[in-house]
Amino acid sequence: MNLEPIRGHSGHAAEEARRLTELGRAAGLGDSPDDAVRLHQDALSLLGAHEATPLVADVLRWQGTVLRDRGNPVEAKPLYQRSLTVARELSYSAGIAHALNCIGILALNAGDLPLADDLFTQALTATESCGEPRLVGMIQQNLGVMADIRGNPVAAMAHYRAALRTFEAQNDQQQVCWVLNNLGIVHAKDGHHDEARKAYTRALEIATERGEMLFEGIIEGNLAELELIYGNVSAARPAIDRALEIAERRRDSARHAIALKLVGAAHRMGGDLAAAEEALGKAARLAAVSGDALTSAEIRFQLACALAAGGHRTVAEETWSRSLLAFERIGARQWAARVRDRLTGGENGRYF
């Protein structure tokens, strides 16, 4: 595994906590996030969760990330905040920067881009005194995600390529995988099908080789979305099935919502409108729990498309209008433009 280094803590308890934490971090990226939560809790019990050491700050943050990655931001946030408090008490620069970056991701997922921007900027400032290029690359990635949401693919690509150079120089395959996935997303939206597939395929190979099922499921979902964008419903279905299987296996409500969004879109594009509405309704409920504002708005958009295709124009327009408000609140300009096109021209049968 190529994970963040674990900082020092003296004694047998610390060594056992390190062992439990490494197992927990692997389980969190694999198929056992429940085990990851338990292992991190055991590590904190050994260390004393209220003791101020760098290792405690790290474990609190890693526990938060396991919860965030399975769609539980409400429980993740206080862990990140406690981690930040401990790191600040110790003047632990890397811990401060990591915690700010993680809290920024929560803000990004919630659709509060101005807050996320401020937190990522604070995190970058904190990295100046800790000498961790990996962390700088991680923040660059998040700035790229934010630029992509705002409809600025040029800026997104610049951030992603800067991050990729950093990770390739360190042979950090875990983060290379994630950057390639994000590059694939930008290529797909820009209409560069071959470049997107190449990036996704390489990322999936890395994730599979490393046994990181979280990333496998995300990339499979993006491969499915790529095919749906180009109207290849039958080609999308195997990847949709795999993304759904992984989300269910991991009991990951955030990824489950995204997979069901794709299921619903595929049904809608294939003409099974009742199945589309059922899948999208379930997706909306899961996304509300996971607190992912962008995914919730995208699901609402797909539901409106299904309603319009079924002849329910008034309800569809109301649903598109609600999605438009959500996209505008987030600052997702490209998505907002797509909704306006539907409100003006009606349903067109395409993915978006």
Q: What is the pLDDT at residue 25?
A: 85
Residue 29 has pLDDT above 70, yes or no: yes
Confidence of residue 6 (pLDDT cuts 50, 70, 90): very low
pLDDT, one tens digit per residue, over 130-188 is: 888 999 999 999 999 999 999 999 999 999 999 999 999 999 999 999 999 999 999 99
User: Mean pLDDT over all residues of the chain?
Assistant: 93
Which DSSP string do the residues of 247-301 spell out, in sequence order?
HHHHT-HHHHHHHHHHHHHHHHHHT-HHHHHHHHHHHHHHHHHHT-HHHHHHHHH
Residue 250 has pLDDT above 50, yes or no: yes
Q: How many angstroms separate the most distant Cα atoms in the chain? A: 68
Q: What's the one-letter identity of residue 251?
A: R
Q: What is the pLDDT at residue 14?
A: 81
pLDDT, one tens digit per residue, over 255-313 is: 999 999 999 999 999 999 999 999 999 999 999 988 899 999 999 999 999 999 999 99
Residue 50 has pLDDT above 80, yes or no: no
Mean pLDDT, residues 245-250: 96
Q: Record the tokens describing residue 164, joined without a space.
A: 């990729």
Least trusted range by pLDDT, from 7-11, 13-17, 163-167, 202-206: 7-11
Give CATH for domain 212-352: 1.25.40.10
Q: What is the pLDDT at residue 48?
A: 77
Q: Which of 163, 157, 198, 193 is nearest to 178 (CA)?
A: 163
**Residue 93 and residue 77 in contact, taking contact as beta carbons nearer than 8 Å:** no
Residue 128 has pLDDT above 90, yes or no: no
Mean pLDDT, residues 314-339: 97
Q: How far apart are CA 136 and CA 164, in angstroms?
A: 11
Q: What CATH superfamily is the domain 9-130?
A: Tetratricopeptide repeat domain (1.25.40.10)
Helices and strands in the chain: count of H runs, count of E runs: 17, 0
**Domains 132-203 and 212-352 equal at CATH topology level:** yes
The dihedral sign for the CA sequence 164, 166, 170, 174: negative
**Residue 54 and residue 24 in contact, taking contact as beta carbons nearer than 8 Å:** no
Q: What is the pTM of this model?
A: 0.91
Q: Which of 109, 102, 62, 72 is nearest to 251 (CA)?
A: 72
**Residue 75 and residue 33 in contact, taking contact as beta carbons nearer than 8 Å:** no
31 vs 196, higher pLDDT: 196
Confidence of residue 8 (pLDDT cuts 50, 70, 90): very low
**Residue 283 and residue 299 in contact, taking contact as beta carbons nearer than 8 Å:** yes
Least trusted range by pLDDT, from 3-17, 98-112, 137-151, 179-193: 3-17
Least trusted range by pLDDT, from 48-52, 115-119, 237-241, 316-320: 48-52
- The residue ranges of every structural domain in the chain are 9-130, 132-203, 212-352
Give CATH for domain 132-203: 1.25.40
